[in-house]
Amino acid sequence: MSRLRTVLISGLGLLCISLPLSAHHATSTVYDVDDDKAVSLVGSVTKVEWQNPHIHIYVDVTDATGKVVNYAVEGGTPNSLYRRGWRKDTVKPGDMVTIEGAAPARNGTARVHLGSITTTDGRQLFSGRN
């Protein structure tokens, strides 16, 4: 009976450990990480979400036809960005920015994995690839 209990407790422990791991995705499952598919966007920041697990910056970009598209730009974790020099107010709504996207979304939606961002005052900050 004690051997069965040990096996059950061990199995339950492994299950508890593995559940959080399945919640996080690899970048390549959402974004096309081929180097030749990187994108550059210039636009106005509409919203910044500085929260775990990744920050999101929303940017209005005018496409070639004149249509405004709101891109969701996913950055790194708040902690990793903080260590790279970012602060919560590094970019804020209304700022004009240039986004170098490390990868566009695989499903064709207006999402980009952030590579770097350049502000109008010339500061360039990097997100790093997760």
Residue entry with tokens 């990744």: 54
Q: Tens of pLDDT along 62-117?
A: 998 999 999 999 999 999 999 998 999 999 999 999 999 877 888 989 999 999 99
CATH class name, domain 26-126: mainly beta
Q: What is the pTM of this model?
A: 0.76
Q: Tens of pLDDT along 11-58?
A: 565 555 544 444 555 676 778 777 677 889 999 999 999 998 999 999
Identity at 67, one-letter amino acid code: K
Q: Extract the tokens encoding 22.
A: 């399945």
Q: 53: cis peptide before it, omega within 30°?
A: yes
For 54, the 3-state DSSP assignment is: coil
Burial degree of 57 (CB within 10 A; 0-12, 13-18, 19+): buried
pLDDT at 19: 45
Query: How many angstroms from the chain centroid is the CA of residue 62?
Result: 21
Q: Are 40 and 100 in contact (CB under 8 A)?
A: yes
pLDDT at 61: 97
